[in-house]
Structure formats: C-alpha cells, structure tokens
Copies of this chain bind each other. A is one copy, B any other.
C-alpha cells in the first residue's frame, strides 16, 4: 500500500473512531481530552461533532492552524507528566472522551510515552468514557478494548473504554 493510500486510511480511521466515540460517550457529561494538538485537524473535527462540549487540549506547544487554536483556558501546555497531575487536580475523573494522537516518527519512543501516560489519562476518565489512540494501549487497569467501527483496518487506530 502506498503512503498516500496509508494516509487516507489513517485519517478515515481517525474520523470513524472519533465519531464512534462521540456516539458512545453521548450520555456522559464532562470534557473531551485531546492529547497532541498538532496542526489542529482532529481538534477541529471534535469541535464539529461535539457541539457544546468542552475540549481540553494537551501539547508541548501550539503549532496549529490559527483557526484551530483552543482558548487559553482549555490548553495545558508543556511536558505531559507535568500537565497531567494539574489536569487531574482541575478536572478530577470527569472526561467523557480522550483522543491520543501523540505518535511521532519514533515508534519505540511513542509507545513508551503512551505506556507511561495511559494510566494517568485513565485516571481522568469518567466511568464509560471512550479512548481513541494512535498507539496501542494494553494492560492498563480500568481500560478494556472496544471493537473498531466497520471498515476500519485492525491496528490502524485503537479504541478502549473506561470500566
């Protein structure tokens, strides 16, 4: 499969998974959490499919399109392992959705980052909350795998639920 085909599948998988998460978490109050703002593409999509829901964003810095920059009060900027404890103090375990898009070109580094962050992120989630992640998340207490939406290739994205 060419890198163009692969990119299309990846973005389609993100779209399908985020929309599935929005449906599954519709009955849960509380914010959506976006880990990794990047250029703001999925943040923009979350805004579109979650009208009225607060979207709290974590990243090292803001490098998004100017029209995809979250308001200051919804931004946790800096090292994730410094901002996550602050977010837990601010938000408690209230989040309805968490989207992790923190993979870099460095596969081993991305997986290590997610393995370390996922238990802390799980602590921010309300019961029944849905996690969408570009990296696999395994063996985190309280997180159980969800099936992917129809048409999404196995392994291209990952969904879990807080139980």
Interface residues of A (CB under 8 A from B): 2-5, 7-8, 11-12, 14-15, 18, 39-42, 44-45, 47-49, 65, 68
Copies of this chain, whole number: 2
Which of B3, B18, B39, B45 interacts with A68 by CB under 8 Å?
Answer: B3
- CB <8 Å contact, A11 and B3: no
- CB <8 Å contact, B4 and A11: yes
Apart from A3-B39, A3-B68, A7-B11: 11 A-B pairs, beta carbons within 8 A: A2-B47, A3-B40, A3-B41, A4-B18, A4-B41, A4-B44, A4-B45, A5-B15, A7-B41, A8-B8, A11-B11
Residues of B within 8 Å of A48, CB to CB, are: 2
A2 CA / B46 CA spacing, docked (Å): 9
Give the distance to chain B from A9, nearest Cβ to Cβ, in Å: 10
Residues of B within 8 Å of A15, CB to CB, are: 4-5, 8
Interface centre among A2, A8, A14, A47 (most CB of B within 10 A): A2
Residues of B within 8 Å of A42, CB to CB, are: 4
Give the distance to chain B from A81, nearest Cβ to Cβ, in Å: 28
- CB <8 Å contact, B5 and A45: yes
Q: Which residue of B lies closest to A14 (CB)?
A: B4
Provide a sorted-by-A list of 21 A–B residue pairs whose CB atoms are within 8 angstroms.
A2-B45, A2-B48, A2-B49, A3-B39, A3-B40, A3-B44, A3-B68, A4-B11, A4-B14, A4-B15, A4-B18, A4-B42, A4-B44, A5-B15, A5-B45, A7-B11, A7-B41, A8-B8, A8-B11, A8-B12, A8-B15
